[in-house]
Amino acid sequence: MLALRLAIKNLLGAGLRTWLTAGVLSIAFVVMVFYHGLLDGWNLQARNDTREWEIGGGQYWHPSYDRFDPFSLQDAHAPLSPQARELTAAGRIVPVLITQATAYPDGRMVNLLLRGIPAGQQILSLPTACLAADSVEIPALIGRRMAAALRLQPGDALLLRWRDVHGVFDAREVTIVDIFKANIPSIDQGQIWLPLDKVQEMTGMADEATLLVTARDLPPVPLAGWTFKDPDFLLKEFTEIIESKKAGSAIVYGTMLAIALLAIFDSQVLSIFRRRREIGTYMALGMTRGQVIRLFTVEGAAHSLFALLLASIYGLPLLHWLGTHGISMPEVADATGMTIGDKMLPVYSAGMVLFSVTVVILSTAVVSYLPARRIARLKPTEALRGKIQ
């Protein structure tokens, strides 16, 4: 307590120098919390959206299916087992049949994935009800990114060519009945959604599917001939992207933190240089060298308390505002191919704030301790005379 009390008095006595250092440190702290919150918010939002729109409570995959290898689709299909059919009928899973196809919009040729999904499914947020339209022969649903890329509007016809189960090419015209808006590029870019029964009929894969999407509350059960992939596995790549983004953002706030820590280090070196007589006085009054070192370490580390105080004054309202209003993302963000909402809403968890506080306090304590160690080599008599050793 004595060290802290003395440290705070000394820091307040140092005036502007203390507040400038604490100010930079507080910015580093706020930026650290903001970046972490932003990435955590993005992660949370993207995971929720992906589960809502694409993966539900997990997916059962055909053993040959590889989502990163379109050629695996040729073999990755199998008839639904009676158990799977039962679950489908109960609305607990949604079968999806995927095959490669080529579209010819305006005379261009575009490779895409043809996805068959039951029009009446309720598990995913995809507006598949429109696929039940009987006014057109083959209704098709696409996302806004796909619509923009192919310049398609609802009601437009699109020529598709695909190969059936025997490898025979066939072609039909489909009609775009709706364009959905989702933050998930993997269900939008290069994808076209058709009624499952149509795709099964077009490919000659009656009653077959490539994967089965489960309801979010369905506990994983073994399904013969299918491999269950949980959401963590399905979101693994996205999680890795977030982690790499976090590492990248650490460079930004790490630089600011480093500037503040350098200022504290310099202040400490200067303090020990200028306050030798004071150090000698402490020793003469009965402080041990260890106590004096602790005093100077606490004094340096106390910058972080001032920084937290400053950060709470301007940072709390700012972070709260950002957390409630979010940050609008530009249209170009869609082109990144990553799941990004129109607005990113930072999410601040107690653990993350505690982590940031700990990083700031510990790092200031370390940079304060390093120069303070020199006090151990000071002789009290020399210190009292203000001599440099």
Partner 1 sequence: MENQTIIDIRELVKRFPIGDGTFTALRGITLSFEKGEFAGLVGPSGSGKTTLLNIIGSLDAPSAGSVIVLGKEVARLSHHESAALRNHHIGFIFQTYNLLPVFTVYDNVEFPLLLQKGSAAARKKAVMEALEWVGLAEKAQSRPAQLSGGECQRVSIARAMVKRPQLVLADEPSANLDADNSHHILRTMKRLNRELGTTFIFATHDEKVMRYLDRIIGLEDGRVARDERIENAAEGDHPPASGEAGRSELPGEEDYARP
Q: Per-residue string for binding with partner 1, 40-79, x by CB under 8 A?
A: ----------------------------------------
As a whole number of angstroms, the distance between CA 348 and CA 44 comes to: 11
Considering only residues 365 through 384, tell me which ones interact with partner 1, judged by CB under 8 A. 379-381, 384
Residues within window 75-104 making contact with partner 1, judged by CB under 8 A: none
Q: What is the DSSP letter of 334?
A: G
Binding segment for partner 1 among 1-9, 44-52, 165-173, 353-361 (CB under 8 A)? 1-9
Rounded Cα distance between 166 and 323, Å, is 54
Residue nearer to partner 1 on the CB measure, 239 or 381: 381
Q: What is the 3-state secondary structure (H, E, C) of 140-196?
A: EEEEHHHHHHHCCCCCCEEEEEEECCCCCEEEEEEEEEEEECCCCHHHCCCEEEEEH
Residues 210 and 75: beta-carbon distance below 8 Å: no
CA 172 to chain centroid, in Å, comes to: 40
CB of 262 to partner 1, least distance (A): 24
Minimum CB separation of residue 360 from partner 1 in Å reads 24
Angle at 302 between CA 298 and CA 306, to 5 degrees: 175
Smallest gap from residue 273 Cβ to partner 1 (A) = 16
Phi, psi torsion values for 152, nearest 5 degrees: -115, 150
Could you give the string, one character per residue 250-269, with x where binding to partner 1 holds by CB under 8 A and - elsewhere? --------------------
Provide the minimum distance between the beta carbon of 369 and partner 1 in the complex, in angstroms, as a whole number.
Answer: 19
| Degrees to nearest 5, angle at CA 388 with 382 and 389 | 80
Interacting residues of 193 by C-beta distance below 8 A, sequence separation 6+: 115, 116, 117, 126, 128, 131, 140, 141, 142
Interface positions, 182-221, toward partner 1 (CB under 8 A): none
Of the two residues 82 and 286, which places its CB atom closer to partner 1 in the complex? 286
Half-sphere exposure of 153 (CA within 13 A, CB side): 1
Nearer to partner 1, 291 or 312 (CB): 291
* Closest distance to partner 1 from the beta carbon of 270 (Å): 16
**Beta carbon nearer to partner 1, 288 or 349:** 288
Nearer to partner 1, 103 or 287 (CB): 287
Q: 367, 272 in Cβ contact below 8 A?
A: no
Pull the structure tokens for residue 242: 């977030």
Q: Which is nearer to partner 1, 2 or 313 (CB)?
A: 2
How far is CA 148 from its chain centroid?
26
Options 5-13, 51-59, 195-203, 302-310: segment touching partner 1 (CB under 8 A): 5-13
| Residue among 167 and 286 whose Cβ is closer to partner 1 | 286
CA pair distance 296, 254, nearest whole angstrom: 24
For partner 1, give the closer residue by CB, 12 or 354: 12
- Quote the least distance from Cβ 385 to partner 1, whole Å: 9
Q: Give the count of beta carbons closer than 10 Å to the beta carbon of residue 333.
A: 14
Binding-site size, partner 1 (CB under 8 A): 22
By CB under 8 A, tell whether 159 contacts partner 1.
no
Complex with partner 1: residue 17 or 379, whichever CB lies closer: 379
Instruction: Supply the minimum distance, in Å, between the C-beta of residue 10 and partner 1.
Output: 5
Dihedral-angle region of residue 133 (phi above 0 means left; psi in -120 to 50 means alpha; beta otherwise)? beta
Residues 272-311 that bind partner 1 (CB under 8 A): 277-278, 280-281, 283-289, 291
Regarding 12 and contact with partner 1 (CB under 8 A), the answer is yes
- Nearest-approach distance from CB 378 to partner 1, in angstroms: 11
Shortest Cβ 386–partner 1 spacing (Å): 9
Residue of 71, 72, 69, 96 lying closest to 209 (CA atoms): 96
Binding region for partner 1 (CB under 8 A)? 2, 6, 9-10, 12-13, 277-278, 280-281, 283-289, 291, 379-381, 384
